[in-house]
């Protein structure tokens, strides 16, 4: 099974560089990397071009104009370009464990959404990594990482938990998930009505559930470490979009990935 790794980014090339460093050193390489760029300045393009020359993994820079928060559009645009059948999506401020791709592929199944988790790096530890550009994996016994259980890789336990299916909407994380491209197309991808941060991931997954797709949790594998930054606040309108999808059991959004797919 071949896969495309989608990395979202917006004007934080310092973090993206570290994500790319971990993405190209995987024990099982992705077949391509696509940068889903929501309108970053030229320094991100220069970084991606430089990285493309350092690795045998093809890297595609999927860029759109900076016109406010359009994460859903940037994801749709990038996923539409994906050449391979399986899609893994992460954010461009994540450090990926060397077996990250391997773990996702091992759990993959048609009509199943794979939800991973994240370990949160403390501000000072994150700042030091960004300054030195050296990847450091925090010890579970240190104070450099929050929610320490999410930094434990226990393959045999993960394999047991991954067999369980559910439609639980708790802890939906757009920074660490995967599924088959055909399942994304089935619900028309991400909803581009979301033009501010918050609930766009939950609404996407709710439509997957409404369409008969189940969830598997990747716990104790597919580890990633989140570089610290302040989070935005949810928009009330975003919550109303999500509630409309729930109340009406929607499986399709009007403005989605179909705009970018070739007939």
What is the pLDDT averaged over residues 82-102? 98
Sheet with 3-9, side-by-side order of all strands: 59-63, 32-37, 3-9, 86-91, 176-180, 112-115, 214-217
CA gyration radius, the chain: 17
Instruction: Report the SS3 class of residue 10.
Output: coil
- Give residue 232's pLDDT band: very low, low, confident or very high (50, 70, 90): low
What is the pLDDT averaged over residues 19-41? 98
Q: Which residues contact 74 (CB under 8 A, 6 or more apart)?
A: 8, 36, 37, 38, 39, 62, 64
- Give residue 77's pLDDT band: very low, low, confident or very high (50, 70, 90): very high
Is residue 263 over pLDDT 70? no
Beta bridge partners of 59: 33
Fold (topology level) of 3-260: Spore Coat Polysaccharide Biosynthesis Protein SpsA; Chain A (3.90.550)
For residue 261 the two structure tokens come to 């797919």
Is residue 235 over pLDDT 80? no
* Interval 117-164: pLDDT, tens: 999 999 999 999 999 999 988 888 888 998 888 999 999 999 998 889
Angle at 38 between CA 189 and CA 19, to 5 degrees: 95
The number of beta carbons lying within 10 Å of the beta carbon of residue 221 is 25
pLDDT at 136: 84
pLDDT at 230: 78
| Highest-scoring range by mean pLDDT, 76-80, 166-170, 217-221 | 76-80
Is residue 233 over pLDDT 70? no
In the chain, what are the domain boundaries?
A: 3-260
C-alpha closest to that of 76 among 262, 263, 254, 258: 258
Q: Mean pLDDT for the chain?
A: 95
Is residue 229 over pLDDT 90? no
C-alpha to C-alpha distance for 32 and 70, rounded to whole angstroms: 23
For residue 42 the two structure tokens come to 């030229």
* Interval 153-182: pLDDT, tens: 999 999 998 889 999 999 999 999 999 999
Beta strands in 70-111 (DSSP E): 86-91, 94-96
pLDDT at 134: 92
């Amino acid at each position: 099974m071949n896969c495309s790794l989608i990395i979202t980014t917006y004007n934080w090339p310092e973090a993206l560089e570290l994500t790319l460093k971990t993405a190209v050193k995987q024990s099982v390489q992705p077949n391509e990397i696509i940068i889903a760029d929501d309108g970053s300045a030229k320094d991100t393009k220069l970084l991606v071009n430089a990285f493309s020359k350092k690795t045998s993994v093809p890297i595609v820079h999927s860029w759109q104009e900076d016109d406010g928060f359009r994460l859903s559009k940037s994801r749709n645009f990038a996923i539409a370009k994906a050449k391979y059948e399986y899609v893994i999506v992460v954010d461009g401020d994540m450090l990926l464990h060397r077996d990250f791709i391997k773990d996702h592929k091992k759990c993959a199944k048609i009509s199943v959404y794979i939800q991973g988790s994240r370990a949160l790096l403390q501000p000072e530890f994150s700042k030091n990594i960004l300054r030195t550009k050296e990847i450091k994996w925090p010890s579970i016994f240190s104070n450099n990482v929050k929610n320490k259980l999410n930094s434990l890789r226990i393959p045999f336990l993960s394999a047991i938990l991954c067999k369980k299916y559910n439609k639980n909407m708790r802890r939906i994380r757009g920074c660490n998930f995967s599924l088959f491209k055909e399942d994304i197309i089935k619900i028309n991808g991400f909803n581009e009505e979301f033009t501010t941060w918050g609930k766009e991931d939950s609404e996407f997954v709710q439509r997957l559930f409404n369409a008969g797709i189940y969830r598997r949790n990747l716990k104790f594998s597919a580890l990633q470490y989140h570089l610290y930054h302040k989070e935005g606040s949810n928009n009330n309108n975003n919550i109303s979009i999500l509630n409309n999808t729930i109340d009406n059991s929607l499986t399709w959004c009007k403005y989605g990935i179909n705009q970018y797919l070739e007939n």
